[in-house]
Structure 1
Amino acid sequence: MGRHREFDVEKALDAVMCVFWRKGYEGASYADLTEAAGVERPALYSAFGNKEALFRKALVRYYERYLDYIPAALTLPTAREAAAHILDNAIDLNTRYPDHRGCLVINGVLAGSDEAEPIRQILIDARADAEVQLRERFERAKAEGDLPETTKPDALAAFLMAVLHGMAVQAKAGFSRETLEAVAEQALSTWPAGGSTLSRESS
């Protein structure tokens, strides 16, 4: 039988997730990760694998614990309500923790070496998947009359993602919650309204 681990794996994963959130993938050294987890490097390797494997586990944790508002938003009655819900929750998440502001996904991919390319690609794919979900939701909204016939769901999804990414960068740079809320309000002020009753009410 293997030796019993003398640390809480779940707490360790939460700790290293916060390090990646604060410093990005490449900015997080193994010294940072082991210090946060409170264990030596061999124990961290034994529990999670190498740094890339550890980041992958941290990313899954982040999506499960902090981005559950996205699938919830996609079930709301109108596209505008969905967008507003995502923007509001993103602002809250980006500014909630003073020591790791912004978004783990965006922070993790802004810069990277050739060695970190697999991680960068994982994050690009994750964002692309989110954009596909938004596009499909907006296509349904267009078919239901919640969005105008002239709406381009792919462009609208890309627009919303661009606003979300920009706000994450601004939050990381120290922009206030109030400023980010003003950005979200400006983005929603341009939201296309369809002819349905629900669309008019949500606007």
Structure 2
Amino acid sequence: MAESTEDRMPGGRPRSFDADAALDRALEVFWRQGYEGTSLTDLTTAMGINKPSLYAAFGNKEELFGKVLARYLDGPGAYTAAALDAPTGREVVERLIHGAVALTAGEDTPEGCLCVKSVHAGGPDSHAVRQDAVAVRKAGEAALRRRLEQADDLPSHYEPAALAALVHTISDGIAVQAAAGRGRDELRQVADLALRALLD
């Protein structure tokens, strides 16, 4: 089978590594250590490539992170978009909050949320990364607001925009607690309590 252009480096030279597998390894490093806590050496070691190959295939660290963030949203973080397809507003909210626990306190994934960690990146070199993460969060909240505007089964005293902001605040709080080491069972109890307070 002929190689696709995606499997070639600039100039037509074939890659000697699996780009998708390398991105997955970069995702795990960024997720575990955060953008600022991850060095190029951390990335090249985990990805099994040298710096010239990294730059040629993925760009600089910031560009690589953009690709990793997109992969995160389409992979581990895809539950957020899938939750919007739930048949009722109540189920949407339940799936988002329970999904936050499953993602950020999973047994086989780093603790916390890549997006939430990136929003809190504070150094001047991480400004663009932080802005990208903030944009992702705003887009997700806006999509949730639009979905809640269509729901007719939620408590009438909630404005869709306020409820969307509250759900994201709870989910972000779960991610922060998970990153601090709080266990999954305890976070499930927190999620269940929050859902009872919101929806009962």
The verdict on a shared fold, with TM-score over 0.5 as the criterion, is yes
Aligned to 1:140, which of 123, 143, 150? 150
Aligned equivalent of 1:199: none
Aligned equivalent of 2:135: 125
State the TM-score, normalized to the length of structure 1: 0.88
CA offsets per residue over residues 64-104 of structure 1, 9 Å max, x none?
11122222211212211111111222211112246621111
Contact 2:62 2:129 in 1 (8 A): yes
2:200 matches 1:190: no
- The Cα of 1:117 is off from its aligned counterpart by 0.7
SS of equivalent residue, structure 2 residue 36: helix
- The Cα of 1:179 is off from its aligned counterpart by 1.1
2:8 matches 1:8: no
Within 1, Cα distance between the matches of 2:157 and 2:94?
Answer: 21
Change beyond 3 A, Cα 1:190–1:132: same
- The Cα of 1:53 is off from its aligned counterpart by 0.6
SS of equivalent residue, structure 1 residue 25: coil
Within 1, Cα distance between the matches of 2:63 and 2:107?
Answer: 25
- The Cα of 1:148 is off from its aligned counterpart by 3.7
Within 1, Cα distance between the matches of 2:155 and 2:20?
Answer: 47
Aligned equivalent of 2:82: 72
State the TM-score, normalized to the length of structure 2: 0.89
Change beyond 3 A, Cα 1:97–1:26: farther
Aligned equivalent of 1:150: 157
Percent sequence identity over matched residues? 44
2:50 matches 1:40: yes
Aligned equivalent of 1:23: 33
Within 2, Cα distance between the matches of 1:30 and 1:71?
Answer: 31
Gap regions ≥5 residues in structure 1: 194-203
CA-based RMSD of the aligned residues comes to 1.5
Gap regions ≥5 residues in structure 2: 1-10
After TM superposition, the runs of 4+ consecutive aligned structure 1 residues lying more than 4 A away are: none
Within 1, Cα distance between the matches of 2:16 and 2:108?
Answer: 30
Aligned to 2:173, which of 157, 166, 172? 166
